[in-house]
Amino acid sequence: MNAPPNIADHLVLFMPSGKRGRFPKGTTVLDAARQLGVYVESVCGGRATCGRCQIEVQEGHFAKHKISSSKDSISAIGPKEARYAEKRALPVGRRLSCSATIEGDLVVDVPQDAIVNAQVVRKDADQRVIERYPAVQLCYVEVDEPDMHKPLGDLDRLKAALREDWGFNRLEADAHLLSEVQSILRQGKWAVTAAIHHDDEGDAARIIALWPGLKNEAYGIACDIGSTTIAMHMVSLLSGRVVASAGASNPQIRFGEDLMSRVSYVMMNPDGRQAMTKAVRQEVGKLVDKVATEGGVDRSDILDAVFVGNPIMHHLFLGIDPTELGGAPFALAVSGAVKARAGDLRLNLNPGARLYMLPCIAGHVGADAAAVTLSEGPHRQDEMMLIVDVGTNAEIVLGNRKRVVTASSPTGPAFEGAEISSGQRAAPGAIERVRIDRETLEPRFRIIGSELWSDEPGFAEAIAATGVSGICGSGIIEVIAEMYLSGIVSEDGVIDGAMAAKSPRVFSEGRTFSYLLHDGEPRIAVTQNDVRAIQLAKAALYAGIKLLMEKQGVETVDTIRFAGAFGSFIDPTYAMTLGLIPDCELDKVSAVGNAAGTGARMALLNRNHRREIEETVRRIEKIETALEPRFQQHFVYAMALPNKVDPYPKLAGQVTLPPRKVLSDGGTEGPRRRSREERAARRRR
C-alpha cells in the first residue's frame, strides 16, 4: 500500500515547550520531538521497551495555537507498544512516542514525571518540575558481533552503534571501561546500555558506564554544602523525580562555628585544610549512603553529582586552601564552574560518575548564590527582583533580564541568634513569633515545637518537654519590630525608659532599658544591646541592598525573595518594618526555601542550565561593599527603624507605623540631632 508521496504535512505542537513544526504522516512523535529539539527521554532508542518516551495527546481545538487535535490524529497502538503496555502497565492516555506516529494535526503533552518503576514518592518542599536535558544519558544499543573480516574492537563497534543509533559523532570512553567492555558486551549478548556524559556541546561525548542489556534507571545527586548543614537530594536522571533527600550537620563545625573561624583554623593548623576537606567529604559520603538506602538505590547507579556552597565551603570541599578568602582581595582559587570526576574527590559513586560545581560569583558570593540565582532567575524576567540570602554574610542579588548586580554584606551572626543576650539557634523551645499589645505592652509568643500562642489554654502543657529556652533569629526580628510598632523602641533603636511607667516589662538595667519578654526560667528579656546588634546587622544588609539599587538606578524593587533557612521563617512584614529590606508590596515578598538546592537540581537535570548560570555569572556585576564610599552613609541611615531617609509607603498601607520618636541612648527624649548628611538627604526628598 503506497501512500501518495506528497501528502500535506501535519502540524504538531509540543507542550509545555510550545515548540511546533510540520511533519509527514507516519513520522514517529519521538522523531518529531527530536527534530524540534524537544527533549523526550528514551533509553531503548525506539524499541518500545524502556517506556521512557511517554507522551499524552491533548484533545480539542486550541484556538490560541490555531490547531485541532484528536486521538484520531495519532496511530493506533501497535503490537510492540501493546506488549510494553501489558508488561509495564502504561497509564491510560499515555502513549510511547517512539511507536506512535503522526496521522493528523496534534497537540502533544510531554509529561515530566513519567514513572516507569515503582519509586518511593517523596513530598518535597520544592515540587518544581525541571525540564530535563541531563549531562548524563542512558543509551541502549545492539552492537555488531565481532567479525574477522572487519576487525574493529568491541569498544569501537559499541561506539559505531552509538553513533549510528544516537548520533554521537565524537565519542571517547573512560579508561576504567577498557577492561570491562569485553565481558559486558558478551554478558548482554551484544545488547548493552551505555551511560554517555556529554556536558559541553563542543567536547567529545564520553562513555562513562556500561551495563549488559537494558538499564532503565540512573541517578544524580544535588548537594548544598552550607557552613551549618549539608542538604542532599537524590534525583532520577530519567524522570527528574526526587527519590530521596537527607541532611546533616556540617562536621566542620567542630573546627569552627562560623566561616571565619574555619579559615583561622586552617591558618593556625598545618593539617587544618586536609582535616576539614576530609570531614566534609566523609559527611557527603554518609549522606550518599543515606539517600541511596532510602531510595533503595545502589551507589554505583549514581552517575552525576552537582555541588554548591559558599566560597569557603566550595574551596574546602575541593581541597583548596581558603586562607586567601579570609582577607582582601578575597581571591578565589577558582571562580568558574568546576567539572571533574567524582573519583577525583574520592566520592564513592559509580566509577565513571561526574561532578559539577556551579561557578562562584565573587570571594564572598559563592556557588550557592549562583544556584539561588539560577533557581529564582532574575536574569530570565523583566521585573526588578531582589534576592536576599541571610547568613553570617548576606548574599544579595538584584536584577532583571537586562542587568544583574550582586554584593555580600557582613551582617554578622545576630540574625542567627548569636550576639543576642537570650539568642539561640532555631530549635524546639526557641521563641519564633511575638506579638505585643499596643496598649498594655503585654507580649504573647509562640515557640518552635508548638502551634499554640503563650496566652492560649494548654500552652504550658504543650511546651513542657522543651520549656521556653531563648529567642531564635525570626523571633528576635519579630520582638524588636513589635517593640518598635508599640512605641517601646524609638526610630533610632532606643528602648524608651518613659514606657516603664506604662508597663513593668520595660525596666532599667544600668543606663539603658530592657523589655521583659518571658518571666520564667530562664528569664528572657530584650536588652538595648540586643536592639543595637540587630540594628547593626540589618543596617549592613540594607546598605548592601541600597548600593545595588543605586547601581541599577532604581528607587524600589518589584519582588523580593528570601532564600535560605532564615528566610523561610522570617515574616516579611516584620523584616520590612525593621527595614531589613526596602519597601515593597507584601504579596511580592516570598520565602523560597532552599533555593540553592533547587538551583543545584536544575544544573543536575539540565545541562543548558549549567551554560545559563555560567553565562549569567560572567555577566553579573559584583559590588565589593567595603570599597564603596557610599556604603557607610547608607549604613548610617539604615540604623534607623525602618530607615532614616527611605520611605515605606507600601508597608505603611498595611501596618500602622508608630509616630516618629527619637531618643538618646539613655532612653529619654532629647533634642532631635541630625547629622549634616541627614539634613541634606531630607532636603533632596
Binding site for a copy of itself (CB under 8 A): 146-156, 159, 170, 172-173, 175-176, 178-179, 181-183, 200, 202-204, 318-321, 324, 328-336, 338-341, 344-345, 360-363, 622, 624, 626-627
Q: Residue 613 in contact with residue 598, Cβ under 8 Å? A: no
For residues 310 and 359, give the distance between their C-alpha atoms in angstroms, rounded to a whole number: 10
Nearer to a copy of itself, 247 or 343 (CB): 343
The number of beta carbons lying within 10 Å of the beta carbon of residue 150 is: 10
DSSP letter for each residue of 131-147? --B-SEEEEEEEPPPPB
Shortest Å distance, C-beta 646 to a copy of itself: 27
DSSP H/E element including 241: none
Shortest Å distance, C-beta 336 to a copy of itself: 5
Nearer to a copy of itself, 435 or 610 (CB): 610
Nearer to a copy of itself, 153 or 666 (CB): 153
Strands 10-15 and 106-109: parallel
Nearer to a copy of itself, 2 or 179 (CB): 179
Nearer to a copy of itself, 7 or 178 (CB): 178
- SS3 for 148-163 is CCECCCHHHHHHHHHH
All three cell numbers of 9, joined, read: 504535512
Locate cell 558481533: which residue? 145
Shortest Å distance, C-beta 337 to a copy of itself: 10
For residues 258 and 267, give the distance between their C-alpha atoms in angstroms, rounded to a whole number: 15
Nearer to a copy of itself, 285 or 319 (CB): 319
Cis peptide bond upstream of 443, omega within 30: no
Q: Give me the amino acid identity at 478.
A: E
For residues 600 and 367, give the distance between their C-alpha atoms in angstroms, rounded to a whole number: 9
Shortest Å distance, C-beta 518 to a copy of itself: 45
Q: Residue 476 in contact with residue 530, Cβ under 8 Å? A: yes
Shortest Å distance, C-beta 474 to a copy of itself: 31
Shortest Å distance, C-beta 77 to a copy of itself: 40
3-class DSSP state for residue 230? Answer: strand
All three cell numbers of 611, joined, read: 551554560
Nearer to a copy of itself, 48 or 158 (CB): 158
Which of 108, 104, 13, 118 lies closest to 95, judged by CA?
108
Nearer to a copy of itself, 329 or 457 (CB): 329
Nearer to a copy of itself, 172 or 257 (CB): 172
What residues contact 218, with CB distance under 8 A and at least 6 apart? 136, 138, 195, 236, 237, 238, 301, 302, 303
The number of beta carbons lying within 10 Å of the beta carbon of residue 545 is: 24
